[in-house]
């Protein structure tokens, strides 16, 4: 099966109003903002054509774009609350972006900024599994 990275989008949710560790997505870890890690990993994987950050925060958006992600719109306030589900956030980002560019993606990858131990190879392996086995609907990493 041929592989087109343009058919794969990575969505990274990064809310500005985190409560446990305020501003966590902008805090530096190893010299770089936390939000930069999943962006860099998605790009380095070589299997993702679009890296999109969904955020309600202008500083996070600026940082995300400086590391190569796109932030085509700001997340609406009702999807940036403490009890907003990740599923609602991801669905909004995917559907709004697909509508904006008039294209459907074959695979959507969800990465969090807080998984600091994730390996780039895991992203690559997961996408390749989905591409090679049409019976699979989702793949999760575990460690």
Tell me the pLDDT band of 78, cut-offs 50, 70 and 90: very high
Tell me the pLDDT band of 26, cut-offs 50, 70 and 90: very high
Each residue of 31-76: pLDDT tens digit? 999 999 999 999 999 999 999 999 999 999 999 999 999 999 999 9
* Average pLDDT for 86-92: 98
Q: How many angstroms separate the CA atoms of 59 and 36, rounded?
A: 12
Q: Which residues contact 20 (CB under 8 A, 6 or more apart)?
A: none
CA 40 to chain centre: 11
Q: How many angstroms separate the CA atoms of 131 and 134, rounded?
A: 7
Interhelix angle 36-45/120-132, rounded to 10 degrees, is 50
| Phi, psi of 52, deg, nearest 5 | -115, 130
**Alpha-helix runs per DSSP H in 30-114:** 36-45, 58-66, 86-101
Q: Given this model, what pLDDT does residue 2 score?
A: 59
pTM of the predicted model as reported, rounded to 2 decimal places: 0.95
Q: Given this model, what pLDDT does residue 141 score?
A: 82
Which structural domains are found in the chain, ordered by start? 5-130 (3.90.550.10)
- Proportion of the chain above pLDDT 90, given as a percent: 92
């Amino acid at each position: 099966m041929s592989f087109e990275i343009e058919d794969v989008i990575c969505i990274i949710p990064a809310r500005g109003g985190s409560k446990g560790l305020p501003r966590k997505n902008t805090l530096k870890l190893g010299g770089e903002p936390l939000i930069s890690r999943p962006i860099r990993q998605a790009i380095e994987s070589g299997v993702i054509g679009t890296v999109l950050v969904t955020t309600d925060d202008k500083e996070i958006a600026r940082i995300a774009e400086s590391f190569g992600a796109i932030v085509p719109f700001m997340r609406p306030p009702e999807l940036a609350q403490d009890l907003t589900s990740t599923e609602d956030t991801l669905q909004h980002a995917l559907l709004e972006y697909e509508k904006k560019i008039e294209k459907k993606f074959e695979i959507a990858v969800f990465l969090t900024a807080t998984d600091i131990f994730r390996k780039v190879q895991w992203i690559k392996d997961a996408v390749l599994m989905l591409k090679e086995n049409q019976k699979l609907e989702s793949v999760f990493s575990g460690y």
